[in-house]
Every structure is written in C-alpha cells, then in structure tokens.
Structure 1
Amino acid sequence: MAQSIKLGDDIMKIVRRESELQSRSIAGQIAHWMRIGRAIEKSGNFDHIRITAALAGDIETTELTDEEKDVWLDSFVEKLAQPGPDENAFFARRRQLGLGVGLDEAGNLLREKAARKA
C-alpha cells in the first residue's frame, strides 16, 4: 500500500533535478536513494554514529574510514549550505535596514543599492 510523506522544498528540488538526469520518476529516484542508503548503512564499511560524532566535533575526522569520510563530507557540505537561525536573523535585519549584502527569502544574493538623493 502506497504511503504519502512530506519532504521539504529543498529536498524535492534535488530529487526532481536528479530524477530528470537519471530518467526516473520522482518516486523511483527516492526509492533508488533509499535502497542505496540502506545498503551502505548495512554494509559494515562505516558506522553512522561515528559520522554523527565527527559532524558534532566529538571525534576527529582523521579517525574515520575512507567510506565514513565520504559520507561525512557530503553531510558537512550539506550543513554548510544551510544558513542557521542567527545567520537568517542577521541578514533579515540588514534587509530591513537596507544595508550591505545579504540573502533574500529564496537564498539569492542581494547587494546594497545606492540610495538616490532627491
């Protein structure tokens, strides 16, 4: 029996793009990635708890296996791409004040435009 789930717009954007590139349906792409992820987790080549610990800074990445480093790097890059609440608040305040460079609600880079003098 099919089930519905909700995924964030950011995830769906990635799924849609990859499904087009791989000539799969959206559901097919998600199922494909799910099977890969499950196989990797069960492979014994890495320990997800160790990767999580490295992401949290509790262990050094030098302690990870090559397979664990690959997964850690993907997760690390993904986390870097997501602004935190403090960063969002900082740029929202700058936008309110009409100052500096920031990001709009869609994550696009904005630059300050010189105010016109009357």
Structure 2
Amino acid sequence: MAQSIKLADDIMKIVRRESELQSRSVAGQVAHWVRIGRAIELSGHFDHARITAALAGQIETTALTSEEKDVWLDSFVEKMGQPGPDEKSYFAGRRQLGLGVGLDAAGNLVRGKTASEE
C-alpha cells in the first residue's frame, strides 16, 4: 500500500533535480536512495549508535567512518538549527517582558524594549 510522507522543500528540490538527471520518477528516486541508505547502514561500515555517541560528545568524530561523518554532519547541522529547551524558555521569558528582538508569526522582525528602557 502506497503512503504519503512530507519532505522539506530543500530535500524535494534535490530529489526532483536528481530524478530528472537519472530519468526516474520522484518516488523512484526516493525509493532508490532509501535502498542505498539501508545498504550503507547494513554494510558494517556504518553504525548509527556511533553517530549518536558522537552527537552526544561521547566519542570523537575522528573515530567515525566517512559515511558516518556525513550523517553526523547532517544531524549536527539540523540540531544546531533548532533551539533547545533552555533557549526556548529564555526567549519566551524575554517576550513576556517585552524585551529584545524576535520574529512574529509572519516572520517579520519585532523590536521590544531594551533592558535600560524598563
């Protein structure tokens, strides 16, 4: 049974471009990459637990294979782009006080009072 999934626009742009270059459908390109990714994970040259350990700072990235480093880097960049719970809490508190700068729901820059204006 076919199922739908949501992929980010930047990923879909890559999939569409590559599917055209390889003369595959978009679904065929995604399926092809899934098979390749699975084969890499099962190859013995890739260990997701080691990537998780490197992301947690438990092992050095120099201990990873080149395949593991590629996945580690993608995961690292994604994690660094997302605020953590402490950061979310800090900025929520500043918004409640009307302090600092941020974005509204439409993505517009909003300026608040500075600490000296309190």
Q: Which residue of 2 aligns with 1:51?
A: 51
Q: Which of the pair has more CA radius of gyration?
A: 2
| CA 32–109 in structure 1, closer or farther in 2 if over 3 Å, else same | farther
CA root-mean-square deviation: 3.0
Instruction: Kindly provide the amino acid, as one letter, of the partner of residue 59 in structure 1.
Output: I
How many Å apart are 1:47 and its aligned residue?
Answer: 1.5
SS at match of 1:92: helix
Q: Distance in 2 between matches of 1:30 and 1:88?
A: 34
Q: Distance in 2 between matches of 1:16 and 1:81?
A: 19
How many Å apart are 1:103 and its aligned residue?
Answer: 4.3
Unaligned runs of 5+ in 2: 114-118
Give the TM-score normalised by structure 2: 0.66
Give the TM-score normalised by structure 1: 0.66
| 8 Å Cα contact 1:41/1:47 also seen in 2 | yes
Equivalent residue pairs, number: 109
Q: Which residue of 2 aligns with 1:110?
A: 109
Task: Work out the percentage of aligned pairs sharing the same amino acid.
Answer: 66
2:15 is aligned, of 12, 19, 30, to: 19
Q: Which residue of 2 aligns with 1:88?
A: 88
Q: Distance in 2 between matches of 1:15 and 1:58?
A: 30
Q: Which residue of 1 aligns with 2:66?
A: 66
Instruction: Kindly provide the amino acid, as one letter, of the partner of residue 61 in structure 2.
Output: T
